[in-house]
């Protein structure tokens, strides 16, 4: 069982040395310097911060990181990972956020698919799919929501019918982030009777190039089109692309949701503090009458509340990481982290908009706006965060029912 | 359900929890006649006997010399089971003052581990002669009072330890919290007691165990509130269903639980953190979580919540009392914010 299943290709010598560092400070400084020079190299003469919200640059930087060796930090070695402990992974995230490196695009792949495959995939599937995550060659999307299926996920109706060697899939997914650039879809389909709810769901890892798939980008309130409608018209999916048993998809989806609400949100919590620092810098540079926005007691008060939340959420995230390391499945705590983080993140950019004053009228990405309209962008985007991956209302139900044992 | 968890790494939690459960004062306190002084006397002698008052104290001073993790564990249980007695000044602040005065070769008459040192906080307005009046807890029990004054510029803390014989009790006002009787008092004469003052980072370090103990006690209060509220809304039926199945009730409790989880992780992490200011954050977070849970608990109980004979008010009142001990959450938040902003290179 201990054979090497996935072999990682050659990685950057400098990265290999940083990963191998025995001293924590050497590791941190190594990551910091490497990220700075990598960003400079990629952005050329422009400031990378002005491009950090652009999708092409996000993807370019993410792939650059992965190919140099900064991927699969926590995976076991026999799957090509670095088997770094959680403290080291947290250091990497801290440095990544300190320098305001662009957020990854393949978050579904690295944050959700990878841990789910490692836990539930066959060895053949791990061998086939993990290399594409190591080098970011395979971008993943997640086919969950449907036009009539939002919070009530067990009501989904995209149907997979048995055929020779696999399934024929018909139906529609919606709000599927990055489906237009994705190579694979982690997709939930109905294989049981129409009324079978969670007992009749199967996970398929659908090749997005399959004949019969149509992807239509949907414009969001930010003006961008990062998510899509995905139409399945008699799409063939081979048996080998089924994850787990037929009709056993619900428990895999719940495990994936556990990863999503747990480890997936940790990088965002780590990032919260440097985002708050950015907002403080903005407030220090923004005039308000004869003074600056940072001198406004109301703004200072809200900065204080957010600062407290940053510290407390970080303690909660660290606690969560320790539990994950002990192989405890994140339960209601994952929902607590998701709920508190998404609401704090919204408050952060509500504050940002207040600091902007009349410049709040300018649109996201507008070059003449402070920080190129990044605050407006985030203000709008954070509205999504209390909706996606389980709405705040669903989080509260889970917390009350599973955390406190209240009646359904 | 025990939201504070099992013994875990703490050696004190389990024995303390058992002792505190046996000594729970709820029935006496919600009875017709308030008996807080008698309960406090009983609780205090138990605490002294079991050595709780000397956990932070150095072994050479007759203490046990345990760390802040144990302080947090014990304080959580103290909050959850409504322990009555001058715990904070005797067991948490006084040992810190002793260490500080020693490091400065300053006189501090350490009254020993058996002393009942009561916290005495200044009232906002002075009396007609301009003198500060203090509210001292547990006057029936106090052998000493630790008088606290806040300094504003630079921000810090100023304390004096006075023997009970060196203060003049002015009155015995009704206390908000039935578990903590108070007296209004002033020093019997000018110049009594050595004043120990400390500012900035030193103040943050001195008060670190105090904030941790208050945060942990509030978290204990919050845990008890949640456990009791959940039991109530699971049993109480209206419209043929448990009221806890209605989302209006459920979501309020989910928020309380989320805030509690956050506060608990924050205080426990702050006990092991290198940054003494993390304890201040822990207290701010815990103060909001407990106060809100306490107000909500009364709402969940409906008519029973506003009745003396049910215990909801005991928890809310304890949270409010702990939140009024200076430096309060608002001050701590301001100090933390100023420090954070000053550290950022704008």
What pLDDT shows up at residue A330? 63
Please name the residues in contact with A298: beta carbons below 8 A apart, sequence gap of 6 or more.
Answer: none
Whether A333 and chain B come into contact, CB under 8 Å, resolves to: yes
Q: What pLDDT band is residue B114 in, cutting at 50, 70 and 90?
A: confident
| A305 and A384 part of one domain | yes
Q: What is this model's ipTM?
A: 0.89
Q: Taking 60 as the threshold, does the pLDDT of residue B232 lie above it?
A: yes
Mark yes or no for CB contact A393/B247 under 8 Å: yes
**Mutating which of A282, A312, A313, A334 best tests the B interface, going by the most B Cβ atoms within 10 A?**
A312
CATH number at A200 reads 2.40.110.10
Q: Which residues of B touch A318 (CB under 8 A)?
A: 265, 269
DSSP A158-199: -EEEEETTEEEEEEEEEEEETTTT-SEEEEEEE-S-TT-GGG
- Chain B, window 219-248: residues with a beta carbon less than 8 angstroms from a chain A beta carbon: 226, 230, 233-234, 241-242, 244-245, 247
B253 inside 8 A of chain A by CB: yes
pLDDT by residue (tens digit) across B251-267?
999 999 999 999 999 99
Chain B residues 256-275 within an 8 A CB cutoff of chain A? 257-258, 261-263, 265-266, 268-270
Instruction: pLDDT band for A43, please (50, 70, 90 cuts).
Output: confident
Q: What are A183-241's pLDDT values in tens digits?
A: 999 999 999 999 999 999 999 999 999 999 999 999 999 998 889 999 999 999 999 99
Of A106, A117, A10, A1, whose CA–CA distance to A67 is shortest?
A: A10
The domain total for chain A is: 3
Domain-wise residue ranges, chain B: 13-198, 200-343
Determine contact: A292 vs chain B, CB below 8 A: no
B41 touches chain A (CB under 8 A): no
**Domain assignment present for A308:** yes
Structure tokens at A298: 């109301």
Q: Are residues A398 and A267 in the same domain?
A: yes
Task: Kindly indicate the confidence band of residue A290, based on its pLDDT and cuts at 50, 70 and 90.
Answer: very high
Q: Is the CB of B250 less than 8 angstroms away from the CB of A395?
A: no
On whether both A275 and A311 belong to a single domain, the answer is yes
Pairing of strands A287-288, A291-292: antiparallel
Are A227 and A305 found together in one domain? no
Q: Are residues A189 and A239 in the same domain?
A: yes
Is pLDDT above 90 for A45? no
pLDDT of the residue at A2? 67
- Model confidence at B1: pLDDT above 80: no
Residue of B nearest to A408 (CA): B245
Full DSSP string of A90-153: HHHHHHHHHTTPPPPS-HIIIIIIHHHHHHH--HHHHHHHHHHHHSS-S-EEEE--BTTBSS-G
DSSP summary character for residue B69: H
Report the distance separating Cα B71 and Cα B92, nearest Å: 8
Residue A272 domain boundaries: 262-403
Q: Do A319 and B265 touch (CB under 8 A)?
A: yes
Chain B residues 179-218 with CB within 8 Å of chain A:
none
The answer to whether residues A267 and A245 belong to one domain is: no
Report the candidate in B68, B112, B108, B83 with the shortest Cα–Cα distance to residue B23. Answer: B83
Distance CA B167, CA B165 (A): 6
By the CB < 8 Å criterion, does A303 face chain B?
A: yes
Identify the domain boundary among A182, A216, A251.
A251
Check if the beta carbon of residue B77 is closer than 8 Å to that of residue B20.
yes
CATH of residue A79 = 1.10.540
CATH number for the domain that contains residue A394: 1.20.140.10
- Which of A100, A260, A275, A302 is the catalytic position? A260
Q: Which of B218, B248, B258, B334 is the mutation pick for testing A, counting most A CBs within 10 A?
A: B258
Cα gap B119→B107, rounded to integer Å: 20
Structurally, at CATH architecture level, domain B200-343 sits in Up-down Bundle (1.20)
| CB-based contact B268 A315, cutoff 8 Å | yes
Of the candidates A294, A312, A408, the beta carbon closest to that of B281 is on A312
Find the helix packing angle between B200-235 and B277-301, rounded to 10°: 20
Q: Is residue A132 part of a domain?
A: no
pLDDT in tens, A305-345: 999 999 999 999 888 877 776 767 667 888 999 999 999 99
Q: What is the pLDDT of residue A54?
A: 80
C-alpha atoms less than 13 angstroms from C-alpha of B23 in its C-beta half-sphere: 26
| Strands A184-190 and A140-143, sheet pairing | parallel
Domain boundary among A202, A223, A251: A251
For residue A339, give the nearest of B258, B266, B278 by CB distance.
Answer: B258
Given A187, A216, A251, which residue is the final one in a domain?
Answer: A251
C-alpha atoms less than 13 angstroms from C-alpha of B331 in its C-beta half-sphere: 17
Q: Is there a single domain that holds both residue A48 and residue A80?
A: yes
Tell me the β-bridge partners of B146: B119, B161
- Tell me if residue A260 is catalytic: yes
Do A21 and A62 lie in a common domain? yes
pLDDT in tens, B160-182: 999 999 999 999 999 999 999 99
A343 shares its domain with A383: yes
Question: What's chain A's average pLDDT?
Answer: 92
Residue B257 has its nearest CB partner, among A305, A316, A399, at A399
Scan for tokens 């440095």, then name that residue.
A95
How many residue pairs bridge chain A and chain B with CB atoms within 8 Å of each other? 121
């Amino acid at each position: 069982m201990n054979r090497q299943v996935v072999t990682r290709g050659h990685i950057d010598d400098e990265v290999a040395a940083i990963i191998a560092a025995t001293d924590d400070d050497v590791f941190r400084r190594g990551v910091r310097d490497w990220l700075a020079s990598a960003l400079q190299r990629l952005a050329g003469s422009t400031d990378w911060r002005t491009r950090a919200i652009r999708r092409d640059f996000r993807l370019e930087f993410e792939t650059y990181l992965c190919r140099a060796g900064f991927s699969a930090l926590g995976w076991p070695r026999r799957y090509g990972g670095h088997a770094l402990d959680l403290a080291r992974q947290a250091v990497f995230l801290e440095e990544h956020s300190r320098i305001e490196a662009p957020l990854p695009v393949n978050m579904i792949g690295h944050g959700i698919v990878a841990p789910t495959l490692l836990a539930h995939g066959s060895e053949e599937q791990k061998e086939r799919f993990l290399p594409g995550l190591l080098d970011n060659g395979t971008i993943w999307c997640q086919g969950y929501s449907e036009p009539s299926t939002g919070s009530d996920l067990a009501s989904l109706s995209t149907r997979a019918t048995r055929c020779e060697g696999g399934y024929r899939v018909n139906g529609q997914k919606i709000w599927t982030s990055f489906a237009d650039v994705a190579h694979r879809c982690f997709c939930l389909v109905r294989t049981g009777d129409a009324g079978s709810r969670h007992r009749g769901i199967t996970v398929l890892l659908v090749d997005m190039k399959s004949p019969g798939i149509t992807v239509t980008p949907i414009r969001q309130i930010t003006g961008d089109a990062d998510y899509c409608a995905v139409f399945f018209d008699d799409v063939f999916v081979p048996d080998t692309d089924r994850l787990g048993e037929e009709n056993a998809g619900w428990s895999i989806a719940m495990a994936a949701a556990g990863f999503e609400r747990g480890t997936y949100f940790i990088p965002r919590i780590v990032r919260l503090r440097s985002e708050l620092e950015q907002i403080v810098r903005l407030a220090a540079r923004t005039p308000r009458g004869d003074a600056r926005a940072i001198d406004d007691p109301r703004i200072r008060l809200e900065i204080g509340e957010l600062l407290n939340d940053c510290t407390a959420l970080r303690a909660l995230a660290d606690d969560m990481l320790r539990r994950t390391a002990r192989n405890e499945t994140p339960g209601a705590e994952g929902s607590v982290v998701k709920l508190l983080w998404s609401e704090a993140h919204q408050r952060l950019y509500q504050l940002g908009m207040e600091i902007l004053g009349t410049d709040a009228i300018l649109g996201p990405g507008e070059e003449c706006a402070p920080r190129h309209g990044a605050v407006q962008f985030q203000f709008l985007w954070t509205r999504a965060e209390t909706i996606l991956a389980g709405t705040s209302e669903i989080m509260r139900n889970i917390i009350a029912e599973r955390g406190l044992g209240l009646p359904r | 359900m025990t939201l504070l968890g099992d013994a875990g790494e703490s050696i004190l939690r389990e024995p303390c929890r058992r002792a505190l459960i046996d000594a729970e004062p709820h029935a006496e306190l919600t009875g017709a006649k308030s008996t807080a002084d008698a309960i406090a006397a009983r609780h205090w002698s138990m605490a002294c006997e079991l050595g709780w008052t000397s956990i932070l104290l150095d072994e050479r001073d007759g203490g046990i010399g345990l760390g802040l993790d144990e302080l947090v564990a014990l304080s959580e249980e103290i909050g959850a089971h409504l322990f009555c007695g001058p715990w904070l000044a005797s067991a948490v602040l006084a040992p810190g003052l002793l260490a500080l005065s020693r490091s400065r070769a300053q006189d501090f008459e350490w009254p020993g581990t058996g002393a009942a040192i009561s916290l005495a906080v200044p009232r906002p307005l002075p009396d007609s002669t301009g003198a500060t009046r203090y509210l001292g807890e547990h006057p029936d029990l106090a052998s000493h009072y630790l008088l606290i004054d806040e300094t504003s510029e630079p921000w810090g803390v100023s304390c004096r330890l006075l023997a009970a014989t060196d203060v003049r009790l002015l009155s015995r006002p009704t206390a908000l919290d039935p578990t903590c009787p108070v007296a209004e008092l002033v020093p019997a004469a000018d110049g009594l007691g050595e004043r120990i003052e400390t500012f900035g980072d030193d103040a943050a370090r001195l008060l670190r165990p105090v904030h941790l103990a208050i945060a942990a006690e509030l978290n204990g209060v919050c845990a008890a509130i949640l456990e009791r509220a959940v039991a109530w809304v699971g049993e109480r039926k209206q419209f043929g269903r448990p009221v806890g199945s209605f989302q209006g009730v459920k979501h309020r409790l989910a928020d309380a639980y989320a805030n509690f989880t956050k506060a608990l992780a924050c205080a426990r992490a702050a006990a092991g953190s290198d940054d003494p200011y993390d304890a201040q954050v822990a207290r701010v977070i815990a103060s909001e979580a407990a106060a809100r849970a306490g107000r909500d608990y009364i709402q969940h109980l409906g008519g029973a919540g506003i009745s003396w004979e049910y215990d909801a008010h005991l928890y809310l009142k304890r949270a409010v009392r702990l939140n009024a001990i200076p430096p309060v959450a608002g001050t701590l938040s301001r100090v933390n914010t100023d420090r954070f902003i000053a550290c950022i290179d704008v």
